[in-house]
Amino acid sequence: RKDILGLQNLSAEEIGLILDTAVPMKEILGRAIKKVPTLRGRTVVTLFYEPSTRTRTSFELAAKYLSADSVNLSASTSSVVKGETLKDTARTLVAMGADVVVLRHPMAGAPNLLASTIPAAVINAGDGAHEHPTQALLDMFTVREKMGQLAGLNVAIIGDILHSRVARSNIWGFTKMGARVRICGPATMIPPEIEAMGVYVCTRMEEALDGADVVMMLRIQLERQQQGLFPSIREYARLFGLNRKRLALARPGALVMHPGPMNRGVEISPEVADGVNAVINEQVTNGVAVRMALLYLLGGGGMPDA
Is there a contact between 155 and 174 (Cβ–Cβ < 8 Å)?
yes
Number of neighbouring beta carbons within 10 Å of residue 131:
29
Q: How much is the CA Rg of the chain, to the nearest whole Å? A: 19
Burial environment of residue 228 by CB neighbours within 10 A (0 to 12, 13 to 18, 19 or more): exposed
Please say if 26 is a catalytic residue: no
Minimal distance, residue 54 CB to ligand CP, in Å: 4
Is there a contact between 242 and 250 (Cβ–Cβ < 8 Å)?
no
- Amino acid at residue number 268: I
Please say if 132 is a catalytic residue: yes
Minimal distance, residue 150 CB to ligand CP, in Å: 20
Catalytic residue selected from 21, 42, 89, 104: 104
Catalytic residue selected from 2, 26, 34, 54: 54
Minimal distance, residue 261 CB to ligand CP, in Å: 6
- Comparing CB distances to ligand CP, the nearer of 130 and 202 is 130
- Comparing CB distances to ligand CP, the nearer of 13 and 223 is 223
Catalytic residue selected from 42, 56, 105, 132: 132
Beta-bridge mates of residue 278: 256
- Comparing CB distances to ligand CP, the nearer of 173 and 259 is 259
Integer Cα distance of 218 and 46 in angstroms: 24
Integer Cα distance of 133 and 167 in angstroms: 10
Please say if 204 is a catalytic residue: no
DSSP state of 249: T
- Comparing CB distances to ligand CP, the nearer of 118 and 280 is 280
What is the DSSP track for 226-242? PTTT---HHHHHHHH-B
Number of neighbouring beta carbons within 10 Å of residue 198:
13
Catalytic residue selected from 77, 82, 85, 245: 82
Q: What residues line the site for ligand CP (CB under 6 A)? A: 52-55, 126, 135, 259-261
SS3 of 119, please? coil
- Comparing CB distances to ligand CP, the nearer of 54 and 180 is 54
Minimal distance, residue 52 CB to ligand CP, in Å: 3
Minimal distance, residue 85 CB to ligand CP, in Å: 24
Please say if 104 is a catalytic residue: yes
Catalytic residue selected from 55, 89, 142, 175: 55
Residues identified as active-site: 54-55, 82, 104, 132
